Amino acid sequence: IARKLNITEGTVKVHVKHLLRKLDLASRVEAAVWAVKQGFHA
């Protein structure tokens, strides 16, 4: 992800942490399940 967005891994980790907190989710897996339920697809 970091390489694709041309940012550091640390920046990605911070953004993921903030996203999880905002959505009240415990993990990236929970976030993936949430995204699919919301209609987001890769």
3-35, pLDDT tens digit by residue?
999 999 999 999 999 999 999 999 999 999 999
Q: How many domains does the chain have?
A: 1
Residue 21 lies inside a defined structural domain of this protein: yes
Would residue 19 count as lying in a domain? yes
pLDDT of 41 reads 83
Question: With contact defined as beta carbons under 8 Å apart, do 25 and 34 qualify?
Answer: yes
Q: Residue 28's pLDDT is what?
A: 96
User: Could you count the other beta carbons within 10 Å of the beta carbon of residue 25?
Assistant: 15
Question: How many angstroms separate the CA atoms of 37 and 15, rounded?
Answer: 21
Instruction: Look up the domain containing 7 and give its range.
Output: 2-37
Task: Fill in the DSSP letter of residue 7.
Answer: S
Q: What is the pTM of this model?
A: 0.78
Instruction: Say if 42 falls within a structural domain.
Output: no
**Distance set, CA 27 to CA 12, 24, 31 (Å):** 14, 10, 6
**10: in domain:** yes
Look at residue 27 and tell me if it is in a domain. yes
Q: Which amino acid is at 20?
A: L
